[in-house]
Chains A and B, each alone.
Chain A
Amino acid sequence: MTAPALEARDLCITYPPRQGRGPAHAVDGVNLAVGVGEIVALIGESGCGKSTLARAFVGLVRPTSGEVCYQGTTLGYSSKAVKRFRRYTQLLLQDPGGALNPKQNVFDAVAEGPRLHGLRAGLAERVETALSQAGLRPPAQFAARYPYELSGGQQQRVVIAGALALEPSVIVADEPVASLDASVRGEILRLILDLRTSLGLSALVVSHDLGLAWNIADRVAVMYLGRIVEQGRAEDVLLRPRHPYTQALLSVLPGTDADPVVLRGEPPDPTAIPAGCRFHPRCQRFAALDTTDGRRTLCTGQALAILPADAPDVACHLIEQPHG
């Protein structure tokens, strides 16, 4: 069996205490793998730790415990090791307008990565290839332009070209289309799919948008308060969700016929993780349990095991006998 392109093993990331609060357990035990040529969508609300996890995957955040592996090799954090690793794993950020330097033209923006990695030979060709792979054709027409002369979709393509210029094997995209217009969204997602086909790229796409997962992902992992709560094939997770949180997320999508389960309360606080199942204070299935039901003590008292990376699974005490 070939090793996954990118893998997190028992990953924990804790931020130090601040302003009188306890330490924030942003990522609190995660196993997640992105296979070679696979597109995985990591779904969750703001504050669930998905962006921290994405940053850990590209070596920008050092895990408190656990490890990140690239093609089976554990990532080291010496500056040399990180630099070598970053050639192969590229991060795409949410807001292309903010990710590009306004005083740098398209050529320099795309060439920055290769220059930092000392790939000076054939730089012009490298940039040209990357631009055309990102759908900016003909490349010569774009190379001398500045970000303000480009539309939002074109800016995101420049950011993608910048990533492609290093010939990476994995792309980690943090909300790649959240700041783009509806009509451009599809084009950028199609580009990610096309790159997988033409270059064999693997991708981890972080988003709160379940429609995006349906559009491009092979596998979906749903994250809640630092843990993956459900993980499996996109069709299974999106069409037959098993975890009450996934079910709630899907039920509130506009245009869904099912009765919406609107979760009460605010997004969870990683400095105060509830005991037992971390979702139980907002869980509709827990709330529907009879007060005498013995399973309540499981939900409130017994922590759930961390899900494995290699098989579809759900973290819920009530999964055997679905309620309601």
Chain B
Amino acid sequence: MREEPAARAPKALAGGPTTRPLGAVGRDTLAALLEVRDLHVTFRPDVRAVRGVSLSLDAGQTLGVAGESGSGKSTVALSLLRLLPSSAQVSGEILVAGEDVLRMNWGRLRAVRWADASIVFQGAMSALNPVRTIGEQIREPILLHDKVGTRAARERTAALLDAVGVPARRAGAYPHELSGGQRQRVMIAMALACRPNLIVADEPTTALDVIVQAQILQLVTDLVHEAKISMIMISHDLSVLADTCDALAVMYAGRIVEIGDSRAIMAEPRHPYTRALSSAFPAIGDPASRLAPSGLTGDPPDPRRIGPGCPFQPRCAEAFDDCRTRDVELWPAGSGHAACLLVLPDRARSASPTRGNLAQSGEAAS
């Protein structure tokens, strides 16, 4: 479905309360399950890891967040459950079912973690406790949150292991006794243990083999759809996300540079960075990539020294003069939004009435 670009005022795109970038048209009366408004994260002394991210996710929706190391994607993931070190300065709002995670008291936060929202970490070997059995580790959140007896918790643990494809008799095994794929399955079972509404999966299949990756992705997709859980999946592999998630957000230098429906973005990426990322993983059979790997020259910007203008401009093949000075917020592009001067209507590109709005939204986000 295409939207009229004129239908959205650029100001709303800076992250105002009416921003619903993710296909929730016609359902505005329902509160989104997760709503992030103008999130900023700064690490000491002046590393601006996240610079104004807004997104919303409805119940049962899945969103993939793509970007390279240092783009801020994992920082966003961790901030959703307030898992960042205390030295990080976080501002903005993160509403989980309407409640602001950033302003919760400690007790409430502990109740929300696991039960409302849980996280699947990247390295299952380092995220699991090596000296406790996987059964104990899955039982722990169940016992803490659901106030059930040990016996009921054991039964649920067995059912969870079964659901993720690890034989329930392995509940007494220690993490080192399992293969990498099985450990990742255990992580998923733990994330599901308290029946959360939202799962954040941070690179759940990085470091796994193709076949195990396919198994895990299939498992996650099935579980999420069955239980109508919302999911945010973080990865650097755009094609993995496009296969698993309804919507995609591409991050660069601490901001979302393109967001929209997965299929639409894969079919026609609007931001030059998204184009570069999607061609980095070639389609086998595509003559254009045969014996011709494509990549980006240069390195991502240093988060301590992000100057004016588009942060992607130094690496962008399509940059022009204005890109060096003008920073663009997300703007309607196709069925989604992209932050690039190229997607602006012509009148806006050459100093125009909309420019005032853009400047305002730029301020609001910085």
Q: Is the CB of A182 within 8 A of B293?
A: no
Chain B hits for A239, CB < 8 A: 284-285
Query: Cα distance A208–B208 when bound, in Å?
Result: 10
Chain B hits for A181, CB < 8 A: 68-69, 236, 300
Is A210 part of the binding interface, using a Cβ–Cβ cutoff of 8 Å? yes
Is A101 part of the binding interface, using a Cβ–Cβ cutoff of 8 Å? no
Q: Is the CB of B236 within 8 A of A45?
A: no
Closest chain B CB from A259 CB (angstroms): 12
Q: Is the CB of A182 within 8 A of B280?
A: yes
- Asked whether A182 and B179 contact (CB < 8 A) given A249-B211, A254-B239, the answer is no
Q: Is the CB of A253 within 8 A of B282?
A: no
Query: Cα distance A185–B68 when bound, in Å?
Result: 11
Is B214 part of the binding interface, using a Cβ–Cβ cutoff of 8 Å? yes
Q: Is the CB of A255 within 8 A of B239?
A: yes
Across the interface, B280 reaches (CB within 8 A) one of A152, A183, A250, A260, namely: A183
Binds B, one of A112-120, A138-146, A262-270: A262-270
Is B227 part of the binding interface, using a Cβ–Cβ cutoff of 8 Å? no
Q: Is the CB of A182 within 8 A of B236?
A: yes
Query: Cα distance A252–B315 when bound, in Å?
Result: 32
Q: Which of A229-279 contact B (CB under 8 A)?
A: 235, 238-239, 248-250, 252-256, 260, 262-263, 266-267
Q: Which of A177-211 contact B (CB under 8 A)?
A: 181-190, 193, 208-211
Is B180 part of the binding interface, using a Cβ–Cβ cutoff of 8 Å? yes
Q: Is the CB of B291 within 8 A of A216?
A: yes
Q: Is the CB of B277 within 8 A of A182?
A: yes
Chain A hits for B277, CB < 8 A: 182-183
Q: Is the CB of B215 within 8 A of A262?
A: yes
- Asked whether A255 and B242 contact (CB < 8 A) given A181-B69, A266-B179, the answer is yes
Query: Cα distance A93–B239 when bound, in Å?
Result: 25
Contact with B along A23-58 (1 / 0, CB 8 A): 000000000000000000000011000000000000
Q: Is the CB of A215 within 8 A of B293?
A: yes
Q: Is the CB of A215 within 8 A of B240?
A: no
Is A104 part of the binding interface, using a Cβ–Cβ cutoff of 8 Å? no
Is A85 part of the binding interface, using a Cβ–Cβ cutoff of 8 Å? no
Closest to B282 in A: A211
Is B294 part of the binding interface, using a Cβ–Cβ cutoff of 8 Å? yes
- Asked whether A211 and B284 contact (CB < 8 A) given A183-B296, A267-B212, the answer is yes
Q: Is the CB of B291 within 8 A of A215?
A: yes
Across the interface, A193 reaches (CB within 8 A) one of B238, B266, B293, namely: B293
Chain B hits for A255, CB < 8 A: 239, 242-243, 266, 281, 283
Across the interface, A182 reaches (CB within 8 A) one of B237, B283, B290, B299, namely: B237
Query: Cα distance A208–B212 when bound, in Å?
Result: 11
Is A302 part of the binding interface, using a Cβ–Cβ cutoff of 8 Å? no
Is B297 part of the binding interface, using a Cβ–Cβ cutoff of 8 Å? yes
Q: Is the CB of A189 within 8 A of B214?
A: no
Chain B hits for A210, CB < 8 A: 210, 284
Q: Is the CB of B210 within 8 A of A185?
A: no
Closest chain B CB from A278 CB (angstroms): 16
- Asked whether A214 and B211 contact (CB < 8 A) given A183-B296, A255-B266, A262-B218, the answer is no
- Asked whether A250 and B284 contact (CB < 8 A) given A153-B299, A214-B289, A262-B215, the answer is yes
Is B182 part of the binding interface, using a Cβ–Cβ cutoff of 8 Å? yes
Closest chain B CB from A262 CB (angstroms): 5
Is B345 part of the binding interface, using a Cβ–Cβ cutoff of 8 Å? no
Residue with the greatest number of chain A CB neighbours at <10 A, chosen from B211, B218, B294: B211
Chain B hits for A248, CB < 8 A: 211
Chain A hits for B284, CB < 8 A: 210-211, 214, 238-239, 250, 253, 256
Is B162 part of the binding interface, using a Cβ–Cβ cutoff of 8 Å? no
Closest chain A CB from B167 CB (angstroms): 12
- Once A and B bind, how many residue pairs between them come within 8 Å at the CB atom? 123
Chain B hits for A182, CB < 8 A: 68, 236-238, 277, 280-281
Is A151 part of the binding interface, using a Cβ–Cβ cutoff of 8 Å? yes
Q: Is the CB of A187 within 8 A of B211?
A: no
Q: Which of B49-91 contact A (CB under 8 A)?
A: 68-69
Closest to A189 in B: B293
Across the interface, A186 reaches (CB within 8 A) one of B217, B283, B294, namely: B294
Closest to A217 in B: B291
Q: Is the CB of A208 within 8 A of B239?
A: no
Closest chain B CB from A209 CB (angstroms): 8
Q: Is the CB of B280 within 8 A of A45?
A: no
Q: Is the CB of B211 within 8 A of A252?
A: yes
Chain B hits for A260, CB < 8 A: 214, 218
Is B25 part of the binding interface, using a Cβ–Cβ cutoff of 8 Å? no
Query: Cα distance A260–B221 when bound, in Å?
Result: 14
Chain A hits for B180, CB < 8 A: 46
Q: Is the CB of A216 within 8 A of B211?
A: no
Chain A hits for B276, CB < 8 A: 183
Is B209 part of the binding interface, using a Cβ–Cβ cutoff of 8 Å? yes
Query: Cα distance A248–B212 when bound, in Å?
Result: 12
Closest to A190 in B: B293
Closest chain A CB from B201 CB (angstroms): 15
Closest chain B CB from A220 CB (angstroms): 11
- Asked whether A186 and B243 contact (CB < 8 A) given A45-B209, A152-B69, A266-B179, the answer is no
- Please list 9 pairs of residues, one from A and one from B, whose beta carbons are closer than 8 Å in the complex, sorted by A's number: A152-B69, A182-B277, A185-B293, A186-B296, A216-B291, A255-B283, A256-B284, A263-B211, A267-B211
Which 5 pairs show the lowest CB-CB distances between chains A and B?
A186-B295, A252-B214, A189-B293, A254-B239, A181-B68
13 other A-B residue contacts (CB within 8 Å) besides A184-B68, A185-B295, A238-B284: A45-B212, A46-B209, A181-B300, A182-B238, A182-B277, A183-B68, A185-B293, A186-B279, A208-B209, A254-B240, A255-B243, A267-B181, A267-B209
Name B's A-contacting residues (CB within 8 A): 68-69, 179-182, 209-215, 217-218, 236-240, 242-243, 266, 276-277, 279-286, 289-297, 299-300, 315
